[in-house]
């Protein structure tokens, strides 16, 4: 994970003490700059954690989706021929009903 490769935490930056010398840096300027770095680190760390959680969620979702059987293809209706008459359509419908319902439909 990326967080394992990061050397410093915001807390470590905050608690870092620098030695002062006679002509050293202005401690207030260093502290202000380090405060900015700490804020950036915290934002980056939060973004990393959110992305890692989302990544895990998507991996789980993907594994459950791939485990499901593929949906069946929709049944295609045959187009009605341009020269079909109402009689032809009713005959086809009757044949379809007989095929689906069998003799139950006609014996009642």
Contact 16, 37 (CB under 8 A): no
pLDDT for residue 85: 81
Question: What region, left, alpha or beta, does residue 102 occupy, with left being phi > 0 and alpha being psi -120 to 50 degrees?
Answer: left
Provide mean pLDDT across the span 34-48: 88
Average model confidence (pLDDT) across the chain: 79
- Output the pLDDT for position 34: 86
Residues 27 and 67: their CA atoms lie apart, in Å, by: 59
> Of the segments 6-15, 43-52, 74-83, 95-104, which one has the largest average pLDDT value?
43-52
- Model confidence pLDDT, tens digit, residues 56-93: 999 999 888 877 777 776 666 666 566 678 888 888 88
- Asked whether the predicted pLDDT for residue 49 surpasses 80, the reply is yes
Contacts of 20 (CB under 8 A, 6+ apart): 27
């Amino acid at each position: 994970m990326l967080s394992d490769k990061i050397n410093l935490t915001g807390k470590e930056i905050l608690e870092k003490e620098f030695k002062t010398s006679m002509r050293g840096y202005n401690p207030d300027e260093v502290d202000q700059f380090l405060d900015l770095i700490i804020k950036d680190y915290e934002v980056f760390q939060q973004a990393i954690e959110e992305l890692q959680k989302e990544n895990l969620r998507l991996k789980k979702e993907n594994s459950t989706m791939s485990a499901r059987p593929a949906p069946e293809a929709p049944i295609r209706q045959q187009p009605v021929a341009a020269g079909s008459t109402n009689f032809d359509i009713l005959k086809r419908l009757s044949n379809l009903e007989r095929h689906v319902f069998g003799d139950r439909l006609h014996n009642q």
